[in-house]
Structure 1
Amino acid sequence: MLGLCLGLAGTIWAQVPAEKMTLSWTHTIEKIRWAEDYRLQPDGFILEQARVKGSGAGMEIPLDAVLNNGSWHYTPHLPILPMLKLGRTPEAGDYQLCVSSAQREQQCHPMSFWVGEPTVEQPLIELWGCDIG
């Protein structure tokens, strides 16, 4: 079964059954909420849709975005991403990670639910698709 691995440099800290996931966070400077919906494939992540509440420095809303329920929705046009590398520090707050699969309804938790609180000593995390036996 395909799942989501969380860790660093190939070391797995947690495995979560997932076929889809939503990663969301609040921008540290602009304090604007972002969310990205991914579909997991054996060779990586497909970013299917993104949402943002507003624009700011380095956060331009794409021209094809549509305003819906207070957020700008758009479809990024990216190749398959083999891995996601995320900065994660106590000052920035934590990501929220929602996962779902055919066998499991969507679950949403702070990333710390699976891998502990962000620390200064470990300022990043990697996410990749993996086989969960």
Structure 2
Amino acid sequence: MLCVAAAGAILALAADRFTLEWTHSVTRTQWEESWVAGPEGLHPVEARIAGPGAGMEIPDGAWRVPGGWRYRVQVPPQKLVVLASSGATPSGWRVCAAGQCHDLALAADAPVRMWWGARCA
């Protein structure tokens, strides 16, 4: 089960695949990552971006697609993913799984935490 803790609440999603979306704080371009979740952790596998942003360049091996770039993410599975906020973005994080999307609360002093677990409590 994908567990997401944000703004004092815990969201439990019965899904092993999800996307994570956000808007870059400086360039205001859309970023989206596809993830796989399981007992080994959360693993980003592919990303789609409209273009580079300050501190976030298009990686080597990326290929051009209509509206931007795609690339394979080369990061091992993570037991815990912490999503911070600069407070400069127009919107927060969005998690989509099993055909439903959830906008996560955005607070500079309260990061979003995600993990895989049998129970989220």
TM score, norm. by length of structure 1: 0.78
Q: Does 1:96 align with 2:94?
A: yes
Secondary structure class of the residue paired with 2:73? coil
Cα root mean square deviation, aligned: 2.2
Q: Distance in 1 between matches of 2:107 and 2:56?
A: 26
Kindly indicate which of the two structures has a greater share of residues assigned to helix.
1
Percent identity, aligned pairs only? 28
State which of 37, 43, 47 in structure 2 corresponds to 1:46.
Answer: 43
Kindly indicate which of the two structures has a greater share of residues assigned to strand.
1
Check whether the contact 1:89–1:118 (CA below 8 A) recurs between aligned residues. no
The runs of at least 4 aligned residues of structure 1 exceeding 3 Å deviation read: 88-91
Tell me the residue number matched to 2:100. 107
For residue 89 of structure 1, report the CA deviation from its aligned partner: 6.3
For residue 118 of structure 1, report the CA deviation from its aligned partner: 2.5
For residue 119 of structure 1, report the CA deviation from its aligned partner: 3.4
Aligned length: 118
Secondary structure class of the residue paired with 2:100? strand
- In structure 2, the CA distance between the partners of 1:119 and 1:64, relative to structure 1 (3 Å rule), is closer
After superposition, give the CA deviation of every residue in 1:46-88 in whole Å (9 maximum; x if it has no partner). 2110111001321110121111121200001111111110014
Check whether the contact 1:89–1:123 (CA below 8 A) recurs between aligned residues. no
TM score, norm. by length of structure 2: 0.84
